[in-house]
Structure 1
Amino acid sequence: MKIDMQTGEPVIDAADLAGLLDLTPDEVRDRMRGGRITTRLETGADDDAGKMRLSFFHDDMRVRLTCSEDGTVLKTLRTRTGQR
């Protein structure tokens, strides 16, 4: 899996995110448009310079992708966080 960074903003394929959130790609699109899936982007500093962390939140699920500067996913973490 790779995050598209061509526009300077991270873009993930809906099918890739759907698999991580146990949804269909159409559900991902609809829930992102409706604000039910939210995101946070963090960029690395110091020892983590050149990396980014992209987090997706949906209901009680958090998916965190740690990526290189070019969008290559280095690590994936899925956790249940309790109802938001």
Structure 2
Amino acid sequence: RLTETGVEVAAEDLAPLLELDPSDLRRQMRDGAVTTRYEVGQDADAGRFRVTFQSADWRVRFTCASDGTVLKRLRNRRGG
């Protein structure tokens, strides 16, 4: 969901995509082992945003409409 301070994704929804338990996801995010990148669409992609979560093994990217609706989800194993 989109908030005033950025994007919020429930750990219970994201953790399985990164093959982590929600508590491990929260800990790894605090420790910097799981990182997040937020991008705002430009030109043809104006009104959309993209958020990417990366762990040691996985990259999960959501492309969303301005209201936070997920338009596309991409999941790739890293380093393989």
- On whether the aligned pair clears a TM of 0.5, the verdict is yes
Q: How does 1:10-21 map to 2 (within 5 A)?
A: 10-21=7-18
Q: Deviations over 1:4-57 (max 9, x none)?
A: 213241111001111211111111111100110001011101110011110011
State how far apart, in whole Å, the 2-side matches of 1:57 and 1:8 are: 20
The residue aligned with 1:6 is: 3
The residue aligned with 1:77 is: 74
The residue aligned with 1:30 is: 27
TM-score (norm 2): 0.92
- Structure number with the higher strand fraction is 2
Aligned-pair Cα RMSD in Å = 1.3
Match of 1:66 among 44, 63, 66: 63
List 4+ stretches of structure 1 deviating above 3 A.
none
Q: What amino acid does structure 1 have at the position aligned with 2:61? A: R
Q: What amino acid does structure 1 have at the position aligned with 2:13? A: D
State how far apart, in whole Å, the 1-side matches of 2:74 and 2:48 are: 15
State how far apart, in whole Å, the 1-side matches of 2:56 and 2:3 are: 29
Unaligned runs of 5+ in 1: none
TM-score (norm 1): 0.88
| Residue correspondences, number | 80
**Identity of aligned pairs, percent?**
49
